[in-house]
Amino acid sequence: MKLSLNTWQRQMTVVAIGQITGRVSEIRKAMKALDILELSLEEKAQVGFLPTPDGGFIWKDQDHVWELEIKDKEAVTIVKRAVNQFAGWPVAQMRLVDDLFDQLGIPKEEQDVEP
């Protein structure tokens, strides 16, 4: 699955995946997705990524878009489930959330429904 995510979408997808609990096989697939989605040190430097004292993060380049590909179908399924079940989406970012759901192919009628 090819994705074009801005830094916020990418980081929030990492946060959603980080909240997965489950069988070891699911966790391993989640880790495969995180290997692709987590920002490398070079990518963090590229967008001016900085941790905040409260455990959050900020970055200077707000418009950067990342072209990513997750080839493992089971890892894609894990990402879709994590994003769909994540309960921390902010209303202020609904345009970006809707775009993320569209890119992942999660239809509106299936959003928030456990697979």
Domain ranges of the chain: 2-108
Which pLDDT score is estimated for 57? 87
Provide the 10 A C-beta neighbour count for residue 101: 18
Q: What's the pTM?
A: 0.90
Could you please report the per-residue DSSP string of 56-87?
Answer: -EE-S-TT-EEEEE---HHHHHHHHHHHHH--
**C-alpha 3: how far from its chain's center?**
10
Provide the 10 A C-beta neighbour count for residue 70: 19
The alpha carbon torsion through 20, 25, 28, 79 (nearest 10 deg) reads -50
Percent helix / strand / coil, the chain, rounded to 5: 55, 10, 35
Which pLDDT score is estimated for 81? 94
Kindly give the confidence (pLDDT) of every residue in the chain, 115 residues in length, as a single tens digit, with 9 standing for 90 and above. Answer: 999 999 999 999 999 999 999 999 999 999 999 999 999 999 999 999 998 999 888 999 988 999 999 999 999 999 999 999 999 999 999 999 999 999 999 987 777 665 5
The alpha carbon torsion through 11, 57, 23, 29 (nearest 10 deg) reads 40
Which pLDDT score is estimated for 62? 86
